[in-house]
């Protein structure tokens, strides 16, 4: 029993220590941000490697989440005689919640861990040390472009996820479950609000994007320069990012629900 307590305490204090280091790292990045916008090529290369290459996964996920959502909610809606609202219900869920959250989680798994491994490997093979010795600032050159690329990519991926999700809902709802197409779209227009739903969703995915990118570059850049260190950095990125996403989701959803 006491081992359990002791291990929990160690994990917690390690978490707290990492958190402090993490904050300092984040502040270190700030001054580089304005300058980085003058190097669009580096950012563009990173958008390719983390955004474009995550596209297929995101679209796949979006489509099937949409279809499942439609199938799942159909039963309940039929009971309440609100089948026509299928589209509206699903659209709201996608745009507010599922799009931002699931797209960000997929991103953390695919791109976050890739960035962490890449940076960790560069650290382990002395590439970062070599850069420093060549008087090139590795933060400016490798870390910041990846960070910015993540912030740009995640909201876009969330929007794509939601849109493809809507396609899935439409195909299942209208063509499979015979919901009336006109009612389907009209209810969506009536119910989904620009600022409340879409605005919140986009804001959330922006926050998630910052978290995922920051975690990935932080873990990778500060990984122990050994093979074990690199793989640990990748795993930690996925786990910690996912936890933060779910936590932020709770906070942001709770505080922006109308009427609360």
Binding site for other proteins (CB under 8 A): 44-45, 47-48, 51-52, 55, 80-82, 91, 95, 121-122, 125-127, 129-136, 152-153, 155-157, 159-160, 162-163, 166, 185-186, 188-190, 192-198, 202, 258-259
Give whichever of 7 and 40 is closer to other proteins, judged by the CB atom: 40
Beta carbon of residue 215, minimum distance to other proteins (angstroms, whole number): 22
Beta carbon of residue 141, minimum distance to other proteins (angstroms, whole number): 8
Tokens standing for residue 223: 């990984």
Beta carbon of residue 240, minimum distance to other proteins (angstroms, whole number): 26
User: Strands (DSSP E) along 18-118, which ranges?
Assistant: none
Beta carbon of residue 32, minimum distance to other proteins (angstroms, whole number): 14
Tokens standing for residue 112: 């976050």
Contacts of 191 (CB under 8 A, 6+ apart): 85, 88, 89, 91, 92
- Residue 186 DSSP code: H
Calculate the alpha carbon distances from 246 to 55, 160, 189 in Å: 22, 20, 28
Beta carbon of residue 121, minimum distance to other proteins (angstroms, whole number): 8
Tokens standing for residue 51: 């955004």
- 253 by Cβ neighbours in 10 Å (0-12 / 13-18 / 19+) ranks as middle
Tokens standing for residue 228: 């074990």
How far is C-alpha 76 from the geometric centre of its chain's CA atoms?
30
Question: In 3-state terms, what secondary structure has residue 217?
Answer: helix
Beta carbon of residue 136, minimum distance to other proteins (angstroms, whole number): 5
Rounded CA-CA distance 81/78 in Å is 5
Beta carbon of residue 202, minimum distance to other proteins (angstroms, whole number): 7
Give whichever of 121 and 240 is closer to other proteins, judged by the CB atom: 121
Give the 3-state DSSP-derived string for 76-109, with helices as H, strands as E and coil as C: HHHHCCCHHHHHHHHHHHHHHHHHHHHHHHHHHH
Give whichever of 4 and 133 is closer to other proteins, judged by the CB atom: 133
Give whichever of 34 and 258 is closer to other proteins, judged by the CB atom: 258
* CA angle 145–146–150, rounded 5-degree value: 115
Give whichever of 140 and 243 is closer to other proteins, judged by the CB atom: 140
Give whichever of 51 and 112 is closer to other proteins, judged by the CB atom: 51
Contacts of 61 (CB under 8 A, 6+ apart): 102, 103, 106, 161
Give whichever of 14 and 45 is closer to other proteins, judged by the CB atom: 45
């Amino acid at each position: 029993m006491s081992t359990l307590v002791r291990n929990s305490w160690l994990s917690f204090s390690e978490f707290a220590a990492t958190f402090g280091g993490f904050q300092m790292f984040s502040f270190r990045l700030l001054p580089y941000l304005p300058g980085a916008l003058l190097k669009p090529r580096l950012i563009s290369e990173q958008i390719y490697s983390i955004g474009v290459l995550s596209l297929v996964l995101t679209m796949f996920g979006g489509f099937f989440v949409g279809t499942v959502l439609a199938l799942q909610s159909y039963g309940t809606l039929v009971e309440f005689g609100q089948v026509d609202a299928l589209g509206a219900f699903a659209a709201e869920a996608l745009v507010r919640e599922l799009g931002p959250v699931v797209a960000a989680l997929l991103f953390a798994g695919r791109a976050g861990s890739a960035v962490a491994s890449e940076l960790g490997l560069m650290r382990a093979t002395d590439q970062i040390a070599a850069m420093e010795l060549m008087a090139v600032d590795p933060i400016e050159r490798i870390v910041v472009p990846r960070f910015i690329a993540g912030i740009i990519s995640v909201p876009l991926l969330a929007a794509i996820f939601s849109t493809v999700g809507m396609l899935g809902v439409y195909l299942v709802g209208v063509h499979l479950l015979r919901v009336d197409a006109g009612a389907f779209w009209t209810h969506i227009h009536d119910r989904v609000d620009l600022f409340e739903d879409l605005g919140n969703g986009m804001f959330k995915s922006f926050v998630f994007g910052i978290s995922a990118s920051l975690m990935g570059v932080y873990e990778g850049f500060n990984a122990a320069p050994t093979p074990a260190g690199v793989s640990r950095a990748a795993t930690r990125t996925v786990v910690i990012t996912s936890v933060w996403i779910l936590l932020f989701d709770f906070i942001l959803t709770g505080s922006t629900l109308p009427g609360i």
